[in-house]
Amino acid sequence: MKMIIRWYGKDDPVTLEYIRQIPGMTGVATAVYDVAPGNVWPMESILDLKTEIEKHGLTMEVIESVPVHEDIKLGCGKCEEYIENYKENIRRLASAGVKCICYNFMPVFDWTRSRLHQPLADGSEALVYYKEDVEKMDPRKMSLPGWDASYSPDEINGLINAYQKLGEEGLWKNLAWFVSEIMPVAKECDVYMGIHPDDPPWPLFGIPRIVTNEKNIDRLLDFYDDPHHGLTLCSGSLGCARENDIPKLVRKYGAKHRICFAHVRNVKILEDGSFEESSHLSKDGSLDIYEIMKAYHDTGFHGYIRPDHGRMIWGEQGRPGYGLFDRALGAAYLNGIWEALEKEKTDGTLE
């Protein structure tokens, strides 16, 4: 496996200088952030990013994410043009040495939480999803850090209505179309496309979400039977639904070479199905991180892995979920488990 971390570009307070000091860090997952969804990324911006990253001894082999325009997910408007642009982005990124692209098919809203700074018992702050609060939220009147902020409340309202009309099967149809269009290009460019599950993995605000569980993942992987059509298997996103047994899913899709990118983090599921993001340590949350890492190890995982959201600790201020300290602790912990697994497999020496 190759340990990487998400980096939000030159404006990220977590600098490449800091990132390279995290033990075992080989590269970053990043994106061109100043181009609106649907458009082609200028080659110059892609190459600038790469040069900057490589100057710090890190790689840019993973892009997270190339966003899928809402018109594609809805199958309307300029979807044909945007899909051609998407293919062009795959070609351009491949020519810059990118090997894996993460994307998602969540209608309108990316990851959703009800509080971004919830104090935990140890004094750290975490992202949490309290069902009771979410029920009272009006997505037209708010914005979260992972969401596309370019829509006005009226536009959001229009999108919500359009998805309600489209329904789950309509969304499936558009995902199937998207996959059948982009995958031949990705395969030809030898780029692994990793779809990220919906976070949280259930419908929100009356609009459908479909990348949510084993049955649905089976269905979507069947759209194009090739390892280039793979998963960004996010333990924290799928893992906040009790029905999803993460080590089992890693074993199943890992054995079929359908996981190209692993997001590993822990969540603590509460009695009513709400959840709090916890530290990566198994005993702090509901997921067994050792078993998850063992499943990757046993299935010979050679893809990219990153620690995911961290809490805010030690007084750090920054982008919720994406500070330096707790994610660095997460990376060190995952590396520690991996080293132990490697040594157990052999006579005690590392490969």
Convert residues 268-307 into a mask of x (bound to ligand DNO by CB under 6 A) and - (unbound).
----------------------------------------
List C-alpha distances in Å: 156 to 108, 109, 116, 123, 166. Answer: 8, 10, 21, 36, 15
- 196 as an active site residue: the answer is yes
Distance CA 154, CA 149 (A): 13
- # residues near ligand DNO by CB under 6 A: 13
Tokens of 7: 């980096």
To ligand DNO, the closest distance from the beta carbon of 165 in angstroms equals 24
> Annotated catalytic residue: which of 100, 102, 189, 234?
234
Phi, psi of 262 (to 5 degrees): -115, 125
Shortest separation between residue 146's beta carbon and ligand DNO, angstroms: 4
- Is 73 or 309 the residue whose CB approaches ligand DNO more closely? 309
Cα 110 from chain centroid (whole Å): 10
Among positions 145-164, residues that touch ligand DNO (CB under 6 A) are 146
Q: Is 308 a catalytic residue?
A: yes
Between 61 and 64, name the residue whose CB sits nearer to ligand DNO: 64
Can you spell out the DSSP letters for 15-74?
-HHHHTTSTT--EEEE---SS-TTSPPPHHHHHHHHHHHHHTT-EEEEEE--PPPHHHHH
Contact letters for ligand DNO, residues 319-338 (x by CB under 6 A):
--x-----------------
Measured from the CB atom, the residue of 111 and 224 that comes closer to ligand DNO is 111
The residue within the footprint of ligand DNO, chosen from 83, 234, 240, 260 (CB under 6 A), is 234
Known catalytic membership, residue 234: yes
CB of 243 to ligand DNO, least distance (A): 20
Q: What is the distance between the alpha carbons of residues 151 and 109, in angstroms, rounded to a whole number?
A: 11
Q: Is 64 in the site for ligand DNO (CB under 6 A)?
A: yes
**For the window 88-107, what string marks contact with ligand DNO as x by the rule CB under 6 A?**
--------------xxx---
Q: Which helix (H) or strand (E) holds 346?
A: none
CB of 346 to ligand DNO, least distance (A): 33
- Catalytic member of 189, 229, 309, 326: 309
**Smaller CB separation from ligand DNO, 251 or 263:** 263
Rounded Cα distance, 183 and 175, in Å: 12
Residue 210: enclosing H or E segment and its boundaries? none
Helix spans in 190-311 (H): 214-221, 235-239, 246-255, 289-298
- Rule CB under 6 A: which of 180-219 touch ligand DNO? 196
Catalytic hit among 263, 280, 284, 333: 263
Amino acid sitting at position 335: N
Q: Is 309 a catalytic residue?
A: yes
- Dihedral angle, C-alpha 87, 90, 91, 93, nearest 10 °: 150
- Residue 12 as a binder of ligand DNO (CB under 6 A): the answer is no
Select from 30, 59, 65, 112 the one that contacts ligand DNO (CB under 6 A): 65
Q: Is the peptide bond before 200 cis (omega within 30 degrees of 0)?
A: yes
Whether the CB-CB separation of 89 and 68 falls below 8 Å is answered with no
Q: What angle do CA 176, 224, 166 make, to 5 degrees?
A: 10
263 binds ligand DNO (CB under 6 A): yes
64 vs 276 by CB, closer to ligand DNO: 64
* Torsion angle (degrees, nearest 10) of CA 219, 64, 140, 77: -70
For the annotated catalytic residues, the residue numbers are: 196, 234, 263, 308-309, 322
| Binding stretches for ligand DNO (CB under 6 A) | 64-65, 102-104, 110-111, 146, 196, 234, 263, 309, 321
